[in-house]
């Protein structure tokens, strides 16, 4: 049943990361509830801040890499112009060595930015799983539905009724729920999946389908209104569904609030990109234009995606965007004041050590190649010597005296040759 939304994601890489992050979010929720703040949106806010605080060392290294790369670009352009159009092996080897020496001088790696992204991406993807499956990671949230779910399962014909509610509610899960499976816990997970993501209008369908559970439905709805709302927005609902509900109810304030969520997500990401340092020196016009297009398209993509995912997930993007903007602003101020020349100076000794190691490795490779060539040459000499020896033996045999062993061997050889013709 690994495809169930309520079931914690079971991937070999993201699964354990999501479990750890979900455990942390559960503890934050319990702590906030103990001081009277029982709200998932506030939990997401605190959790997001903590995540970005923990990831700040990686963010700092990534920004330092970008700043040093930008400062390095003029020298990189000189090397590129120096070897432009040269495709012989010696020139390519020399360009590679000078480029590596330049990276060593600035204390950065050509793959440094990729490494930071590879570390951050699993965390961000795992967070997506956690926010999309809140009841799977926060037991207190899942517990809200326990009494209602038990009542639904105990009702005759609940499978057909829940299937109809799922079909008509507009809720869409990664896997369509099957309320006829024999696994009772799986059925309950399916029901919690649907109930947690029900739009406001969907709860009336639950009451109509299970009239004997009206009091349980009212209790769950009241609890969710307390913990599952960001102001007037249900964080488990999508902005698009909220807009449709607001339009049907002529609630224009709800429509405006639902529209603001994707727009704020777009603006926060756009502001982050505007503040990001870019290394455009030494880039071609085509590359610069591609980078500009990508920076424009990425926030636009997030704007459209934000309409079709839960408000809670978009809220995480907004909070994360605001934190990134603040981080980027202060990091930019920090790197404006930092003495990059002193950093470069401190890297000279390290660069010299790396260059020495590369020189030793190249010498070892050269020596191994020389020894291999020498071995091949020795084998060739052995073959030549063997051929010469056979020729000398044949010549000796042809001049053998009568009655000697060599002459008798010649007679046997002649006899065999005549019979084989």
- Per-residue pLDDT tens for 250-271? 889 999 999 999 999 999 988 8
Query: Would you state the pLDDT for residue 75?
Result: 85
Query: Confidence band (pLDDT; 50, 70, 90) for 1?
Result: very low
Asked if pLDDT for residue 4 goes beyond 50, the answer is no
Query: Would you state the pLDDT for residue 255?
Result: 93
Contact 116/86 with Cβ under 8 angstroms? no
Pick the range with the lowest mean pLDDT from 4-13, 161-170, 232-241, 273-282.
4-13
Query: Would you state the pLDDT for residue 282?
Result: 47
Return phi, psi of residue 233, to 5°: -105, 130
Pick the range with the lowest mean pLDDT from 68-77, 205-214, 320-329.
68-77
CB contact set of 44 (below 8 Å; sequence gap of 6+): 25, 131, 235, 312, 315, 316, 319
Query: Confidence band (pLDDT; 50, 70, 90) for 3?
Result: very low
Residue pLDDT, tens place only, 217-247 = 999 999 988 888 888 888 878 898 889 888 8
Higher per-residue confidence, 110 vs 321:
321
Q: Whole-angstrom Cα distance, residue 171 to residue 209?
A: 17
| Most confident stretch, 188-197, 207-216, 394-403 | 207-216
Higher per-residue confidence, 213 vs 347:
213
Query: Would you state the pLDDT for residue 153?
Result: 93
- b/e map of 39-76 (b: 16 or more CB within 10 Å)? bbbebbbbbbeebbeebeeebebbbbbbbbbbbbbebb
Question: Which sign, positive or negative, has the C-alpha torsion 45, 46, 52, 55?
Answer: negative
Query: Would you state the pLDDT for residue 382?
Result: 47
Query: Would you state the pLDDT for residue 2?
Result: 33
Asked if pLDDT for residue 212 goes beyond 90, the answer is yes
Query: Would you state the pLDDT for residue 281?
Result: 47
Query: Would you state the pLDDT for residue 350?
Result: 67
CB contact set of 218 (below 8 Å; sequence gap of 6+): none
Query: Confidence band (pLDDT; 50, 70, 90) for 30?
Result: very high
Tally the C-alpha atoms within 13 A of residue 38's C-alpha that lie toward its C-beta. 14
Higher per-residue confidence, 362 vs 158:
158
Structure tokens at 280: 């455009």
Asked if pLDDT for residue 45 goes beyond 90, the answer is yes
Asked if pLDDT for residue 386 goes beyond 70, the answer is no
Helices 14-34, 40-54: axis angle to 10 degrees equals: 120
Asked if pLDDT for residue 131 goes beyond 70, the answer is yes
Asked if pLDDT for residue 178 goes beyond 50, the answer is yes
Residue range 28-48: average pLDDT?
92
pTM for this structure?
Answer: 0.70
What is the residue-averaged pLDDT of the chain?
A: 78
The DSSP secondary-structure symbol of 234 reads: E
Q: For residue 324, list its beta bridge partners.
A: none
Measured CA angle at 414 (ends 410, 416), to 5 deg: 115
Pick the range with the lowest mean pLDDT from 216-220, 275-279, 302-306, 400-404.
400-404
Question: Pairing state of beta strands 233-234 and 229-230?
Answer: antiparallel
Q: Which helix (H) or strand (E) holds 229?
A: strand 229-230
Higher per-residue confidence, 188 vs 110:
188
| Most confident stretch, 35-49, 197-211, 351-365 | 35-49
Query: Confidence band (pLDDT; 50, 70, 90) for 193?
Result: confident
Domain ranges, ordered by start, for the chain: 1-137, 345-420
Q: Whole-angstrom Cα distance, residue 74 to residue 69?
A: 10
Q: Whole-angstrom Cα distance, residue 21 to residue 44?
A: 11
Residue 389 CB burial class (10 angstroms; 0-12, 13-18, ≥19): exposed
Residue range 367-386: average pLDDT?
51
Pick the range with the lowest mean pLDDT from 49-53, 137-141, 173-177, 204-208.
173-177
Query: Would you state the pLDDT for residue 64?
Result: 81
Share of the chain above pLDDT 70, in %: 73
Query: Would you state the pLDDT for residue 145?
Result: 92
CB contact set of 71 (below 8 Å; sequence gap of 6+): 106, 340
Tally the C-alpha atoms within 13 A of residue 93's C-alpha that lie toward its C-beta. 6
Structure tokens at 175: 């896997």
| Most confident stretch, 77-91, 125-139, 255-269 | 255-269
How many helices and strands in the chain, by DSSP H and E? 18, 2
């Amino acid at each position: 049943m690994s495809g169930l939304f309520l079931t914690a994601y079971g991937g070999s890489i993201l699964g354990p990361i999501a479990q750890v992050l979900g455990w942390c979010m559960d503890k934050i929720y319990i702590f906030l509830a103990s001081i009277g703040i029982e709200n998932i949106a506030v939990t997401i806010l605190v959790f997001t801040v903590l995540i970005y605080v923990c990831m700040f060392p990686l963010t700092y290294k990534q920004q330092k890499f970008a700043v040093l790369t930008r400062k390095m670009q003029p020298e990189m352009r000189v090397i590129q112009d120096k070897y432009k159009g040269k495709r012989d092996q010696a020139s390519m080897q020399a360009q590679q060595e000078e480029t590596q020496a330049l990276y060593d001088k600035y204390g950065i790696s050509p793959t440094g930015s990729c490494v930071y992204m590879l570390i951050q991406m699993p965390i961000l993807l795992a967070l997506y799983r956690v926010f999309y499956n809140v009841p799977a990671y926060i037991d207190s949230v899942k517990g809200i539905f326990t009494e209602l779910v038990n009542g639904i399962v105990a009702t005759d014909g609940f499978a057909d009724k829940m299937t109809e509610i799922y079909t008509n509610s507009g809720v869409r899960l990664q896997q369509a729920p099957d309320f006829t499976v024999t696994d009772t816990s799986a059925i309950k997970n399916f029901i919690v999946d649907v109930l947690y993501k029900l739009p406001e209008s969907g709860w009336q369908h639950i009451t109509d389908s299970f009239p004997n559970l009206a009091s349980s439905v009212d209790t769950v709805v009241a609890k969710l209104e307390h913990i599952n709302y960001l102001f007037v927005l249900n964080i488990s609902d999508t902005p698009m569904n909220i807009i449709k509900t607001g339009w049907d109810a002529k609630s224009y304030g709800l429509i405006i609030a639902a529209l603001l969520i994707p727009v704020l997500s777009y603006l926060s990401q756009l502001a982050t990109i505007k503040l990001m340092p870019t290394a455009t020196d030494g880039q071609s016009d085509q590359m610069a234009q591609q980078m500009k297009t990508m920076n424009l398209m990425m926030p636009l993509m997030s704007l459209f995606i934000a309409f079709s995912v839960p408000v809670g997930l978009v809220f995480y993007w907004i909070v994360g965007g605001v934190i990134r903007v603040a981080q980027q602003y202060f990091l930019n101020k920090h790197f404006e004041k930092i003495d990059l020349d002193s950093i470069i100076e401190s890297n000279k000794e390290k660069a010299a050590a790396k260059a020495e190691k590369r020189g030793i490795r190249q010498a070892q490779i050269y020596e191994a190649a020389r020894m291999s060539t020498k071995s091949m040459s020795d084998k060739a000499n052995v073959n030549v010597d063997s051929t010469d020896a056979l020729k000398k033996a044949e010549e000796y045999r042809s001049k053998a005296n009568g009655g000697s062993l060599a002459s008798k061997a010649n007679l046997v050889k002649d006899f065999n040759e005549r019979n084989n013709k």
